[in-house]
Amino acid sequence: MAAGSSFLVCEGLTKIYGGSPVRALDSVSFTLPTRGVFVLIGRNGSGKTTLVRILATNLEATSGTATLNGFDVMSEPDQIRERIAIVPQEARPIPWITPLQSVFSYLLWRGLGYEEAKKKASEVLDKLKFGKKARVFNRTLSGGMKRKVLMAMILSAEAEVIFLDEPTTGLDPVARREFWEVLQEVRKDRFVVLTTHYMEEAEQLADMIGVLDEGKLIALGTMDELRRRLLYNYSVQLLSLPELPLTLTEGEMVKGRHDLPVILTTEDEAFRIAQNLSREGIKFTINPVGLEDIFFYVHHGGDTAGR
Ligand code: ADP
């Protein structure tokens, strides 16, 4: 990559699936100048998988362009495919071979010689601390370990760009944390595009965050940049609906999870509201603003930057 050039550039990317009136992606434009982890968040159906599939050359856009490391995803797919590795949402390792055989055969398939593939496969499984599990059948592994086998394959390949579509969906909290640790290793020298609907995951991992909503990119930035777009730094999330309308002296109300109100406000006002809510017997949580609040805020139309 030429110094100073942008790594990932999308211009007006639009996807309308055949026979469908829905714009799965609606004129998405953004530029990412650095490496690291780019996390795409959004509700189900917001277009995350569609965007990943276009960038990974698995799907053609209806219009618009995208370049990865200077190569055009539409006209130079071969150059892109040499440089990327993708773990689709539904991917599972082959059940009747071992993790070692999985990584080894993947490397052979990618063009490495027998000896080199063998050496690399052992190295990567050692690095990911597989131990004896490197030699048992994949089908006997837990869900978390199965995903780890896929990560081992991807890591071994030394692709410059790694696409992970909802890699931790369905994993238990321990397996999710293990996966995050593996990713800390991967991010050091790769560019990772990861989709998730777990806000905590995005907060933990992302160098950059993009928020997709109904096919539109409604926000893009680092966690700090996104946070700065909000005027307020405290969030009061109601866990049930109040009987009387709430009055705020300072702050804004947005619709949060299950359409329950979230109040974004100052620390003082948050504690004043909390006292009133307690008096009324309404359950709530009070926290510094997090990514989930930012998501509800931009979804609510509170911010149009990044479009
Ligand atoms: P996400 O990954 O955020 O859940 P998707 O990219 O899978 O979102 O889907 C975006 C939109 O495109 C949704 O409305 C979905 O129903 C639609 N869609 C996805 N794949 C297809 C397809 N193969 N044919 C028709 N519509 C599709």
Residue in 15, 20, 28, 163 to alter for ligand 1 test, most ligand atoms within 8 A of Cβ: 20
Q: Is residue 18 one of the residues assigned to a domain?
A: no
65: nearest Cα among 98, 28, 34: 28
Do 253 and 207 have their domain in common? no
Quote the ligand 1 centre to 165 CA distance (angstroms): 13
Strand order in the sheet with 234-238: 252-255, 261-265, 234-238, 284-288
Could you tell me the mean pLDDT of each successive run of 10 residues in the chain, 307 residues long?
67 93 94 87 92 94 94 94 85 94 94 94 91 96 88 86 87 84 83 89 91 94 88 91 80 89 92 89 91 86 50
Q: Structural domain tally of the chain? A: 2
Please give the helix or strand (H or E) that residue 191 lies within, else none: strand 191-196
Q: How far is the CA of 172 from the centre of ligand 1 (A)?
A: 26
Q: Which atom of ligand 1 is nearest to the CA of 195?
A: 2
**Predicted pLDDT at 2:** 45
Which of 195, 226, 257 is a domain's end point?
Answer: 226
Q: What are phi and psi of 301, to 5 degrees?
A: 95, 15
Q: Are residues 253 and 221 in the same domain?
A: no
User: Which 3 state secondary structure label does DSSP give 165?
Assistant: strand
Spatial separation of the C-alpha atoms in residues 283 and 304, rounded to whole Å = 32
The answer to the question of residue 116 being in a domain is yes
Q: What are residue 258's phi and psi, to 5 degrees? A: 50, 30
Asked if residue 178 is part of any domain, the answer here is yes
Ligand 1 pocket member 44 (CB < 6 A) = yes
Enumerate the β-bridge partners of residue 65: 11
| Full-model pTM | 0.85
Q: Is residue 214 part of a domain?
A: yes
**Which residue's CA is the nearest one to ligand 1's atom 18?**
24
CB 20 near ligand 1, within 6 Å: yes
Q: Does ligand 1 lie within 6 Å of residue 210's CB atom?
A: no
100-134: per-residue pLDDT in tens?
Answer: 999 999 999 988 999 999 999 999 999 888 999 99
Q: Looking at the structure, do residues 106 and 198 belong to the same domain, yes or no?
A: yes
The verdict on 198 and 97 lying in the same domain is: yes
pLDDT of residue 5: 57
Q: Domain end: 171, 200, 226, which one?
A: 226
How far, in Å, is the centroid of ligand 1 from the Cα of 307? 20
Same domain, 86 and 211: yes
Measured in Å, residue 44 CA sits from the centre of ligand 1 at 9
**77 Cβ neighbours under 8 A, 6+ residues apart:** 57
Find the DSSP H helices in the chain: 48-55, 77-83, 99-109, 114-127, 143-157, 173-187, 199-205, 223-228, 267-280, 291-299
* Rounded distance from Cα 20 to ligand 1 centre (Å): 10
Same domain, 284 and 146: no
With respect to residue 206, please indicate whether it lies within any of the assigned structural domains: yes
Instruction: Tell me what pLDDT residue 4 has.
Output: 47
Index of the ligand 1 atom closest to the CA of residue 22? 14
How buried is residue 46: exposed, middle or buried, by Cβ count under 10 Å (0-12/13-18/19+)?
buried
Same-domain status, 116 and 47: yes
Instruction: Report the CATH number that the domain containing residue 142 is assigned in CATH.
Output: 3.40.50.300
Select from 226, 244, 259 the last residue of a domain.
Answer: 226
The reply to whether 101 falls in a domain is yes
Residue nearest to atom 27 of ligand 1 (CA): 17
Domain that holds residue 247: 230-299
Establish if 26 belongs to a structural domain.
no
